[in-house]
Every structure is written in C-alpha cells, then in structure tokens.
C-alpha cells in the first residue's frame, strides 16, 4: 500500500506509535515528573540529587527523562530522600485478572 503525503511532510512511524501508546507514556512520565518536581521543590540540582542519594548522575537523568527500564531499588533509593517509595497498587482501570 502506498501512502502519499504532501511534499515536505515529515511523518515518522515512531510518532504514530507514540500517539497510539500515549497512555503507556503517560504512566511512565508520572514518575519522572514527580521526581523532577520533588527535586526542584527541595532546590536540588540533578548533580545534588545524585550525590545525596548515592546513585549516578546518569541514572538521575534517565529517571527524569522517563526511561523505560530502570532498577526499582535505585528508584526507591532516590525516592527515599523525599519520604516516598515505589509499591504495588491496584489498577485504576480493568486489567487482566487471574
């Protein structure tokens, strides 16, 4: 199947994929936005957060950018500075039940 687009129109498959999976992206970005917000609230730089939590600067940057795969123990180490932690929660919308 050939699709014709106006000249100069740049459509990438990646963008179409992201639109379809926007809800997944939103869930992942909630954590990154929360960490960034907490860091700014406590007036910490990424370097400062990295130093105080004992994780690498690269990890802090990946966390705030919403990287798909992160080690939960390191995320909890960072969140512990703010009195928070990751945990198991009930799904808001209907999911697969056992």
User: For residue 87, is it within any domain?
Assistant: no
SS (H, E, C) 47-69: HHHHHHHCCCHHHHHHHHCCCCC
User: For residue 57, is it within any domain?
Assistant: yes
The angle at the Cα of 21, spanning 3 to 63, to the nearest 5 degrees, equals: 130
- Contact predicate 82/42, CB 8 Å: yes
53 vs 23: which has the higher pLDDT: 53
User: For residue 98, is it within any domain?
Assistant: no
Please tell me the pTM assigned to this model: 0.66
Does residue 65 surpass a pLDDT of 60?
yes
- Contact predicate 78/63, CB 8 Å: yes
What's the CATH number where 18 sits?
1.10.260
User: For residue 6, is it within any domain?
Assistant: no
Does residue 2 surpass a pLDDT of 70?
no
User: For residue 90, is it within any domain?
Assistant: no
For 3-14, the pLDDT digits (tens) are: 554 555 555 554
User: For residue 73, is it within any domain?
Assistant: yes
Residue span of the structural domain in which 50 resides: 14-80
User: For residue 1, is it within any domain?
Assistant: no
Buried b (16+ CB within 10 A) or exposed e, 17-47: eeeeeeeeeeeeeebbeebbebbeeeebebe
User: For residue 9, is it within any domain?
Assistant: no
Give the number of domains in the chain. Answer: 1
């Amino acid at each position: 199947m050939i699709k014709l687009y106006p000249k100069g129109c740049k459509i990438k498959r990646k963008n179409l994929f992201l639109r379809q999976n926007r809800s997944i992206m939103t869930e992942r970005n909630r954590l990154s936005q929360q960490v960034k917000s907490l860091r700014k609230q406590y007036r910490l730089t990424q370097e400062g957060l990295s130093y105080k939590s004992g994780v690498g600067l690269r990890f802090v940057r990946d966390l705030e950018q919403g990287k798909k795969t992160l080690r939960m123990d390191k995320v909890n180490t960072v969140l512990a500075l703010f009195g928070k932690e990751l945990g198991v929660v009930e799904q808001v919308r209907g999911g697969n039940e056992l």
